[in-house]
Amino acid sequence: MSVVTRFAPSPTGYLHIGGARTALFSYLYARKHGGKFLLRIEDTDRERSTDAAVKAIFDGMEWLGLAADEKPIFQTQRFGRYGEVAQDMLKAGTAYHCYCSKEELEQMRNEQMARKEKPRYDGRCRHRTEPRPGVQPVIRFRNPTGGAVVVRDLIKGDIVFQNAELDDLIIVRSDGTPTYNFCVVVDDWEMGVTHVIRGDDHVNNTPRQINILSALGATPPQYGHVPMILGSDGVKLSKRHGAVSVVEYRALGFLPDAVLNYLVRLGWSYGDQELFTREEMQRLFDIERVQKAPARFDMEKLVWVNHEYLKREAPENVAGEFRWHLERLGVQPADGPKLEDVILAQRERCKTLVEMAEKSKFFYADVAAYNEKDAAKHLTPAAADILDALVAELKALPEWKPEAIHAAVHGLAEKKGVGLGAVAQPIRVAVAGMAVSPPIDRTLFLLGRERTLVRLEAARAYAAKK
Ligand code: GLU
């Protein structure tokens, strides 16, 4: 049997981090087994579904690199098909028309509550043979009355539901629109889904879905219900905890692969390995090793994973995201050193791309203003003198190479009888606007001779005026 999984988000908001993890697990499971990973947009709730949310889902999936193997399916485009299946079920007797009015249902409910019973539809239209004139009926599924449904959950183990607890679910409303659980069933069936991996908020839908599938003569898929993600305070992850949408993580400076790596470890483990390449994730992931208990989101760990990725990843794989962040700061990185070289110079000290972009902006844009504190400390009249001498030295260098720059800076410190910091810090403030930068020789080399000299001269003039 070839594995087919799907991710089936409802487009009612952004793609959140929990959804992304479910998508990742489904994706990895399909990849591992050489199967197919599908995307289905569950947009039947027309009031809450928006085009913007559909786009946010596509954007999030694309950014994470979780490509589906076929074009996405939209449930709203399949209403005709759901209607046909409902008609087939009516013919087969596995579904029936129900003409009960709102008032009747309410009365039923009140009576059950008065008897301290769980409110449920009592099946009074199950044997009705005549329509009620003037009433548009709903269609209900004829749920088995006896026995039990055992969900052999791949994560949670066996979960038993008594059929007596499940009432006859409405599958088509009186206005002809299909209901949520019914669409899911028809789609999982017709898409050939073999493994449903989804959030455990859907556990209670599963026995109903299995019953409908069985009534259709389909073999139900296997289910794996993934526990939710909690915030660091142990409460379900929500906006209150900070960023929850995947694209916000992009804006915070995380690499997509680092986010995936962080997510795969959120509730799943492989020994004590923390870092996985994509290939390893695909090969080693196993749904059966996903923990039963909810996982806690840990921002510090995500930052750590991200930094590890920045340090290890080939710089050309980081350049695209780095560019995106520079552009967000209003910087056009076309004019300046190669992004890959700046990444190499910065990655030890930058944990996120936001940090890296902020600390690298000066390579591509003029220094608009000096950091006040740094300028007060390092751009002093004494520094003006040093900068003056340095300009002369650097102008005279036969070649603009890190080694030559290094020798000039060190030589000057020696000549002036000052510590290296007395030369290096004024240079940093002059070229970067602040007293932090990669090593001076590398920084000036990447910045280029022309830009370096202009900035050193400007800083010298600034320092001399003090
Ligand atoms: N559309 C559902 C949701 O976004 C998922 C349903 C499913 O995976 O079966 O929660």
9 lines ligand 1 (CB under 6 A): yes
Comparing C-alpha atoms, which of 145, 144, 139, 136 is closest to residue 91?
139
32 lines ligand 1 (CB under 6 A): no
Percent of the chain past pLDDT 70, that is, above it, reads: 100
CA of 63 to the centre of ligand 1 (A): 21
CA of 398 to the centre of ligand 1 (A): 66
What is the atom index within ligand 1 of the atom nearest the CA of 205?
9
Ligand 1 pocket test target in 4, 5, 38, 42 with most atoms within 8 Å of CB: 42
Catalytic residue among 32, 71, 156, 239: 239
Question: Mean per-residue pLDDT for 45-68?
Answer: 95
Q: Tell me which of 3.20.20.100, 1.10.10.350, 2.30.38.10, 3.40.50.2000 is the CATH number of domain 366-466.
A: 1.10.10.350
The bridge status of strand 170-172 relative to strand 138-141 is antiparallel
Q: Which two tokens stand for residue 396?
A: 């005279």
CA of 180 to the centre of ligand 1 (A): 9
Q: Any alpha helices (H) in 33-138, and if so which ranges?
A: 51-64, 79-92, 102-114
What CA–CA distances, in Å, run from 153 to 2, 226, 393? 19, 10, 73
* pLDDT for the residue numbered 239: 83
Angle at 249 between CA 351 and CA 7, to 5 degrees: 135
What is the atom index within ligand 1 of the atom nearest the CA of 42?
1
Q: With contact defined as beta carbons under 8 Å apart, do 241 and 297 qualify? A: yes
CA of 9 to the centre of ligand 1 (A): 5
* pLDDT for the residue numbered 242: 81
442 lines ligand 1 (CB under 6 A): no
State how far the Cα of 315 lies from the Cα of 328, in Å rounded to an integer.
19
- The model's pLDDT over 148-201, given as tens digits with 9 standing for 90+, comes to 999 999 999 999 999 999 999 999 999 999 999 999 999 999 999 999 999 999
What is the atom index within ligand 1 of the atom nearest the CA of 197?
8
42 lines ligand 1 (CB under 6 A): yes
Q: Which two tokens stand for residue 18?
A: 């929990």
Comparing C-alpha atoms, which of 114, 112, 136, 135 is closest to residue 123?
112
CATH level 3 topology of 78-225 = Rossmann fold (3.40.50)
What is the atom index within ligand 1 of the atom nearest the CA of 12?
4
- The model's pLDDT over 302-329, given as tens digits with 9 standing for 90+, comes to 999 999 999 999 999 999 999 999 999 9
Q: Any alpha helices (H) in 194-334, and if so which ranges?
A: 206-215, 246-251, 256-264, 278-284, 299-312, 315-328
Nearest Cα residue to atom 7 of ligand 1: 8
* pLDDT for the residue numbered 160: 98
- The model's pLDDT over 417-448, given as tens digits with 9 standing for 90+, comes to 999 999 999 999 999 999 999 999 999 999 99
State how far the Cα of 55 lies from the Cα of 63, in Å rounded to an integer.
12
Ligand 1 pocket test target in 198, 200, 203 with most atoms within 8 Å of CB: 198
CA of 459 to the centre of ligand 1 (A): 59
207 lines ligand 1 (CB under 6 A): no
* Residue 87 binned pLDDT confidence (cut-offs 50, 70, 90): very high
* pLDDT for the residue numbered 46: 87
441 lines ligand 1 (CB under 6 A): no
Question: Mean per-residue pLDDT for 21-32?
Answer: 98
296-329 per-residue burial string, b: 16 or more CB within 10 A, e: under 16: ebeeeebbbbbbebbeebebeebbebbbebbeee
Active site residue 415: no
> What φ, ψ does residue 374 adopt, rounded to 5°?
-65, -40
Q: Where in the chain is the domain with CATH 3.40.50.620?
A: 78-225
38 lines ligand 1 (CB under 6 A): no
Please name the residues in contact with 5: beta carbons below 8 A apart, sequence gap of 6 or more: 26, 27, 29, 30, 35, 36, 37, 38, 193, 194, 195, 196, 197
202 lines ligand 1 (CB under 6 A): yes
Q: Where in the chain is the domain with CATH 1.10.10.350?
A: 366-466
pLDDT at 1 over 90: no
Q: With contact defined as beta carbons under 8 Å apart, do 315 and 339 qualify? A: yes
- The model's pLDDT over 205-255, given as tens digits with 9 standing for 90+, comes to 999 999 999 999 999 999 999 999 999 899 998 888 888 899 999 999 999
Q: What is the pTM (predicted TM-score) of this model? A: 0.93
8 lines ligand 1 (CB under 6 A): yes
Ligand 1 pocket test target in 24, 180, 184, 208 with most atoms within 8 Å of CB: 184
Q: With contact defined as beta carbons under 8 Å apart, do 121 and 168 qualify? A: yes
Question: Mean per-residue pLDDT for 78-104?
Answer: 97
CA of 10 to the centre of ligand 1 (A): 6
In the 8-state DSSP scheme, what is residue 267?
Answer: S
Q: With contact defined as beta carbons under 8 Å apart, do 226 and 21 qualify? A: yes
Question: Mean per-residue pLDDT for 244-271?
Answer: 96
Largest CA distance in the chain: 107
Q: Which two tokens stand for residue 443?
A: 């920084």
